């Protein structure tokens, strides 16, 4: 199977090639860790393409304008480990291409998303308004991704959602400036409802879930297909 890094080198048609690559990888039944690895590489590849899609910087290195990527992820609080892991994945890819593309140096500017929406909004505005980044990537929390949507859309800042699964960013609140390399909350839960009812033959179950954005959207998606297949939910 081709490496994604090789596909990125191919030029303007890379979007179609990346889609084909992901289809092939998903057909191979990725586990969650492999899926995240592919997603993080796509995030790096997208920045690579935005810079021009070539690592050639001449004998003295890149001479074009610096390309600044604002990374808004949690580095403190309950999601800190996930934020650090995603950031390390991005750094690994950029290191593999010499932190440059299209004759431009790639610089990552990080800001702590934390947990609360107010902190995530402040972090986003900091990288956009103070650091003047060319692109934003990150967000672990669904409420934080949704809460920054209107600002990012209004600023017309190309944005990659690295983890947050909030459904609205792929539906009613989708934006031509916002993309995701990860799942939406609907995707993993929707087929599981049918599977549990029809393949496992379990028709009466109790649900245990996290009562916040991602958990609520996931359980709603599960309920939809589980009850449609004749299942009954016990309890709230």
Is residue 134 situated within a structural domain? yes
What domain count does the chain have?
2
For the segment 104-122, the average pLDDT, to the nearest whole number, is 97
Q: Of the ranges 60-64, 107-111, 136-140, which one carries the lowest mean pLDDT score?
A: 60-64
**Residues 162 and 69 both lie in one domain:** yes
Burial of 214 from C-beta contacts in 10 A (0-12 / 13-18 / 19+): buried
87 within a domain of the structure (yes/no): yes
Domain C-terminal end among 167, 182, 197: 182
Same domain? For 213 and 167 the reply is no
User: Does residue 159 surpass a pLDDT of 70?
Assistant: yes
Residue 138: pLDDT band with limits 50, 70, 90: very high
Mean pLDDT of 40-68: 64
Mean pLDDT for 94-116 is 95
Work out the burial of residue 162: count CB atoms within 10 Å of its CB; fewer than 13 is exposed, 13-18 middle, 19 or more buried: buried
In the block, tokens 């890379």 appear at 14
In this prediction, residue 64 carries a pLDDT of 87
Distance in angstroms (rounded) separating the CA atoms of residues 83 and 113: 9
Would you state the structure tokens that stand for residue 69, as one six-digit string? 């990527």
pLDDT at 62: 81
Task: Output DSSP code: residue 78.
Answer: T
> Does residue 226 lie within any of the structural domains?
yes
| Mean pLDDT value across the chain | 83
The yes-or-no verdict on residue 123 having pLDDT over 60 is: yes
175 and 192 together in one domain: no
**Residue 206: beta bridge partners?**
234
Same domain, 149 and 196: no
Q: Tell me, what's the pLDDT at 221?
A: 96
Q: What is the pLDDT of residue 30?
A: 45
- For the stretch 75-104, pLDDT in tens is 999 999 999 999 999 999 999 999 999 899
CATH number of the domain encompassing residue 130: 3.40.50.2300
Does residue 28 belong to any structural domain of this protein? no
Asked if residue 164 has pLDDT above 90, the reply is: yes
pTM exceeds 0.95: no
Range of the domain at 190: 186-233
- Structure-model confidence comparison of residues 12 and 93, the more confident one: 93
Q: How many CB atoms lie within 10 A of CB 147?
A: 18
CA dihedral 152, 158, 162, 164 (to 10 degrees): 30
- The answer, yes or no, to whether residue 6 has pLDDT greater than 90, is no
29: left (phi > 0), else alpha (psi -120 to 50), else beta?
left
- Reported in sequence order, the residue ranges of 84-133 that DSSP labels E, i.e. its strands, are 100-101, 104-112
Cα 141 to chain center, whole Å? 11
CA 5 – CA 84 distance, rounded (Å): 23
pLDDT, one tens digit per residue, over 17-27 is: 545 544 554 44
Radius of gyration of the chain (CA): 19
219, 167: one domain: no
101 found inside a domain: yes
Q: Pull the structure tokens for residue 54.
A: 């070539």
Q: Is the pLDDT of residue 201 over 90?
A: yes
Same domain, 193 and 99: no
pLDDT in tens, 28-48: 444 444 444 445 555 555 555
Q: Are 77 and 178 in a shared domain?
A: yes
Q: Do 71 and 116 fall into the same domain?
A: yes
């Amino acid at each position: 199977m081709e490496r994604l890094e090789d596909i990125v080198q191919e030029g303007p048609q890379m979007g179609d090639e990346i889609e084909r690559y992901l289809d092939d990888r998903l057909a191979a039944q990725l586990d969650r860790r492999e899926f995240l690895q592919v997603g993080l590489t796509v995030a790096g590849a997208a920045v690579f393409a935005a810079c021009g899609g070539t690592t050639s910087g001449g004998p003295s290195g890149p001479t074009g304008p610096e390309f600044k990527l604002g990374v808004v992820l949690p580095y403190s609080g309950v999601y800190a480990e996930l934020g650090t892991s995603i950031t390390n994945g991005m750094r690994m890819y950029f290191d593999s291409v010499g932190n440059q593309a299209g004759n431009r140096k790639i610089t990552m500017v990080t800001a702590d998303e934390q947990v609360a929406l107010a902190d995530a909004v402040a972090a986003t505005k900091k990288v956009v308004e103070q650091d003047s980044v060319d692109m934003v990537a990150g967000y672990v929390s669904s409420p934080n991704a949704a809460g920054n949507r209107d600002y990012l859309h209004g600023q017309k800042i190309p944005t990659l959602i690295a983890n947050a699964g909030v459904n609205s960013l792929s539906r009613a609140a989708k934006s031509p400036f916002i993309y995701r390399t990860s799942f939406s909350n609907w995707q993993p839960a929707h087929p599981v409802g049918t599977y549990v009812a029809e393949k496992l033959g379990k028709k009466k179950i109790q649900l245990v879930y996290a009562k916040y954005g991602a958990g609520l959207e996931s359980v709603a998606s599960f309920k939809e297909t589980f009850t449609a297949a004749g299942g009954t939910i016990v309890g709230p």
